[in-house]
Amino acid sequence: MVDFRRLEDVDVAGKRVLVRVDFNVPCDDVGIVTDDTRMVAALPTINYLRAHQAKVILISHFGRPGGVRETSASMMKLVGPLSNLLKTDVSFAPDCVGNTADKAVAALCAGDVLLLENTRFHKGETYTAGGAKGYDDGFARVLAAHGDIFVHDAFSVAHRAQGSTSGIAANLPAYAGLAMERELDHLSQALDIPKRPVMGLVGGAKVSSKIDLLKNLVSRLDTLAIGGGMANTFLAALGHGVGASLCEHDLKNTALEIMANAKLANCEILLPVDVVVSKEFKAGAESRVCGLDEVADDEMILDAGPATIDKLADAIDASKTLIWNGPLGAFELVPFDTATVEAAKYAAKRVKNNGLIAVAGGGDTVAALKHAGTADGFTFISTAGGAFLEWMEGKALPGIEILKK
């Protein structure tokens, strides 16, 4: 389990506290926020700091302007929505470094909140040199000069070493914000110190994008269920015909290696035992349920079948912890969302009635669970994409390393 410095460990009264948030939120064509989930996630930390008389300075990126000032990527459009959420006025500096930022910081009183302009308007935030991505030390030092304490509250960017994360932490004492704490505590509960048996459910389109994840999980789980398009590669590796389905035939040996490693680690691999196939990849297409060796050459596997869903339910019943990443089929298209929806509903039911610890994460995963209406039924859902995956792959995340005691 990660032993990290927490916000509660430091006295923030009267201090300038630099808070790295993730306000890279979806906006429509006229700049109106369409989903404020990430802003809401930052509220507990901001309110805690205000209540403890800190001077709160928020920094974030927005989009990928690549070191160029773009009006459409300005953080200014978030001042109104953030003020409404906090029920207090939020001030704004039209730059994150330089005289305007310095003056805005100097004007802060205890309990005030200041939002600085997009850090990615400066190349130093994600400076690249010699092919290696990182940040410019000089830019990071100027950013850090705004604060006395650094609070990292954006797990979604924890997998990258950038000026506004690792760079500031190299110059200021760094602590995890409350959202970061919650993320790390739940992920540790699921993978580092889990209640066993532990089951993983991994879906998605391709094995190639999750090789490291699968290799790490088979060494740490009791059961690993594989679904979605990636299951086709495993089925093909075992000699089953997959017709016109999405399948990475060149990774058959990789799939066999993962299954062999799972056997050595006493991790049971669950693959579909029946599938839903169609000749068309579109909503409402004619489909049928068939066995693994009954897929026609012109048919695509687009979902797991009812017998597979039953098997997954049995495995969930036998588990005390569930880690979920990726859908079980083409959940965006009805009726190929059935397995994902049914499995998600069953897991949520077990969380409520049997105390199952169910943790999920990844972009498609969040969308799939929202589609299933179970986003509120899981123990914890991480909105981080790449950071969640790299954590599950067992990799050291720069944004977490800086917080360790």
Domains of the chain (ranges; CATH) run: 7-180 (3.40.50.1260), 194-392 (3.40.50.1260)
HSE, CB side, 13 Å, CA atoms: give it for residue 316: 27
CB–CB of 269/214 below 8 Å? no
**206 assigned to active site:** yes
**38 assigned to active site:** yes
pLDDT for 47: 98
pLDDT digits (tens, 9 = 90+) for 328-368: 999 999 999 999 999 999 999 999 999 999 999 987 888 89
pLDDT for 362: 81
pLDDT digits (tens, 9 = 90+) for 139-158: 999 999 999 999 999 999 99
pLDDT for 261: 97
Q: Chain-wide mean pLDDT for the chain?
A: 94
* Per annotation, catalytic residue among 206, 279, 345, 349: 206
**pLDDT-above-70 percentage for the chain:** 98
Highest mean pLDDT among 131-140, 219-228, 376-385: 219-228
Q: What average pLDDT does this structure show over 293-297?
A: 97
* Per annotation, catalytic residue among 111, 243, 386, 394: 386
* Per annotation, catalytic residue among 241, 363, 385, 394: 363
pLDDT for 227: 96
State the DSSP code for 145. T
What residues contact residue 188 under an 8 Å CB cut-off, 6+ apart? 1, 2
CB–CB of 325/201 below 8 Å? yes
For residue 251, pLDDT over 90 is answered with: yes
pLDDT for 190: 87
